[in-house]
Structure 1
Amino acid sequence: MRRGEVFWADLTPRSGAEQAGRRPVIVVSHDGFNEAPGWRSVIVVPLSTSAAQARRGPTAVPLAPGSAGLKKGGIALCHQVTTLDRAKLSERLGTLPANLMSELEEGLRAALDLE
């Protein structure tokens, strides 16, 4: 598991406005953590196909169909960044290309007010 890889994940249980259900997620945690055998958690950004999510501003990063193995296009919801146990991740779909990873990082900076 490496930063920038896209996996199917089970985001249940969740509550309120949190993204839930089975959906693709993008791994954003540092590879030092991702590769550590004893480290069970992973930081991810969930994806959505909701048109309403696309209007969320700089924290919503559009991904075209075919990007990183995604059959459908989607929106990476950087404002919904979350930590999951690795057991919630299943099939690996692909890896984001460098240009999309840069856009995702910009979305995370906007969501977390990082310079």
Structure 2
Amino acid sequence: MARVPGRGDIYHIDLDPIKGREQRGKRFVFVLSPAEHDKYGLVIVLPVSRGQTLARSTGFACTLMGAGTQTQGVVICDQPRTLDFSARGARFVETVPAYVMEDVLSRLAPLVT
């Protein structure tokens, strides 16, 4: 892993294998964990989707629309996962604006506080 992922980065990665209703396949993910954690190889992420009606209706989706990012869709804040970026061949795409990171953290807070 040449570049250390940081909070607010977007990567493209293969989420398979999965079980049940988890997000699957090659897709964009939003890095939740800070670089200080990520430098050890395991990265906490949230999937990005263009669907996710449930996350949208329950308030756990943070939109990337209008954020000036090439990645579009919503960050699904109620499906965090820890991934080995090296083993899954993660590819850096971009970093979101700070206000998107703040929105993600505010939507995640009710799940962990």
| TM, length-normalised to structure 1 | 0.83
CA distance in 2, matches of 1:51, 1:44: 16
Match of 1:107 in 2: 107
Q: Is the 8 A contact 2:8 2:32 kept in 1?
A: yes
Match of 2:85 in 1: 86
Letter in 1 for 2:18: R
Q: Is the 8 A contact 2:30 2:46 kept in 1?
A: yes
Please list the CA deviations of residues 17-37 of structure 1 after superposition, one character each: whole Å capped at 9, or x if unmatched.
1001001001111221123xx
1:32-71 alignment, distance < 5 Å: 32-35=36-39, 39-50=40-51, 52-53=53-54, 55-64=56-65, 67-70=68-71
CA distance in 2, matches of 1:24, 1:14: 15
Deviation at 1:101, TM superposition (A): 0.6
Match of 1:97 in 2: 97
Q: Is the 8 A contact 1:69 1:95 kept in 2?
A: no
Q: Is the 8 A contact 1:11 1:22 kept in 2?
A: yes
Corresponding residue SS for 1:68: coil
- Identity across aligned pairs (percent)? 31
Unaligned runs of 5+ residues in structure 1 are: none
Q: Is the 8 A contact 2:67 2:100 kept in 1?
A: no
Deviation at 1:67, TM superposition (A): 3.9
Match among 31, 36, 40 for residue 35 of structure 2: 31
CA distance in 2, matches of 1:26, 1:10: 13
Q: Which runs of 4+ in 1 moved over 4 A?
A: none
Corresponding residue SS for 1:79: coil
Aligned Cα RMSD in Å? Answer: 1.8
